[in-house]
Structure 1
């Protein structure tokens, strides 16, 4: 991915990045998390709740790690596995999802079941 595309996409507002995330994840049937020595990266929202960030493409995770100096690596997650297993676990653990965070911009925080619904609605258009 070229730098111009990264700049163009990361300049989108949070709702536009959410839409981009949904389309790309449905297209490629994968999403990306951030994995390090202590497991999957988890952060805290302003309200104190745990959030786990996810991205639509590997390059955005790399860019996020450089910006925030995280010693993590992008890790691909199969969409079917995410919808079948991860959503249940994240819901049970009360972890919200931080969708496509980028430097110094607000990002959407949604619950796992909301994301599942959005992704399934997008996937129905492909059938």
Structure 2
């Protein structure tokens, strides 16, 4: 991915980044997270709510990790594994999802079940 595309997509508002995320993840059938020695990157908001971030492409994860100086690396996950296993676990553990967070921009926070519905709706378009 070239730097201009990276910057253009990162400059989108949270709603547009969500749309980009849904289309890209459904198209590639991959979802990207940030993984380190202690497992997947887990964030929290000012109220203590647990949030796990996910991205549509490797380069965005790498940029996020570098910007925040996280010692994590990008790791892909099969979309169907995510939908069938992770969604239930995140819901049970009361962990929400930050969709495609970028530096100095508000993130779109969504429940796992809400994200599942959006992704499954988009996947139906591909059938």
TM-score, structure 1 length as denominator? 0.99
**Counterpart position of 1:82:** 82
- The number of equivalent residue pairs is 127
For residues 73-113 of structure 1, give each alpha carbon's deviation from its aligned partner in whole angstroms, at most 9, with x where no partner exists: 00000000000000000000000000000000001000000
- Matches of 1:47 and 1:81, distance apart in 2: 30
- Unaligned 5+ segments in structure 2 are none
SS in 2 for 1:106: coil
SS in 1 for 2:18: helix
The offset of 1:47, in angstroms, is: 2.3
- Unaligned 5+ segments in structure 1 are none
* Mapping 1:44-55, distance limit 5 Å: 44-55=44-55
For residues 47-77 of structure 1, give each alpha carbon's deviation from its aligned partner in whole angstroms, at most 9, with x where no partner exists: 2100000000000000001100000000000
**Counterpart position of 1:60:** 60
RMSD: 0.5
- Matches of 2:37 and 2:15, distance apart in 1: 31
TM-score, structure 2 length as denominator? 0.99
SS in 2 for 1:77: strand
**Counterpart position of 1:33:** 33
The offset of 1:45, in angstroms, is: 1.6
**Counterpart position of 2:8:** 8
